[in-house]
Amino acid sequence: MKLYTRCSKCREEINFSAWVSDRFALAKKLNEKIELRCTNCNTSNKYHVNDIRAEKNKIVALVASLILLAGTAGMVMLVWDYIFRIADVYATSAFVGVIGIPMAVYQAIVSGQERKVWLFNSYKY
């Protein structure tokens, strides 16, 4: 997840990253007031942890999408020889289940990211 706040002088967005799950962990790791430098106006100010917001990281979404595409292609290639040999309804169900594994991994990554962002933004310090 990406953490950001707005510069108190020029109102430009200041981005930074920290491996924390919520504001309490952020305050424990970096103190209650975090010193950040704006890259636009080059001023350094201290911001309270309640002024920090979180949003989804686009790189995590990209990696999850690549896992979905590559995993689905890999699973199809893995079971391609068996698709037309067995015309049983249970075999078709198993095939759909195997193809669903990359989708489950994708969904777990994306929903985990959304939950972390919601948790961070919902509770104040």
pLDDT in tens, 2-26: 899 999 889 899 998 888 888 899 9
Cβ distance 29 to 20 under 8 Å? yes
pTM: 0.73
Distance in angstroms (rounded) separating the CA atoms of residues 28 and 19:
12
Percent of the chain with pLDDT strictly greater than 90: 43
pLDDT in tens, 109-125: 999 999 999 999 988 87
Give me the helix-helix angle, 89-122 and 58-83, nearest 10°.
170
Residue 84 has pLDDT above 80, yes or no: no
Distance in angstroms (rounded) separating the CA atoms of residues 1 and 97:
30
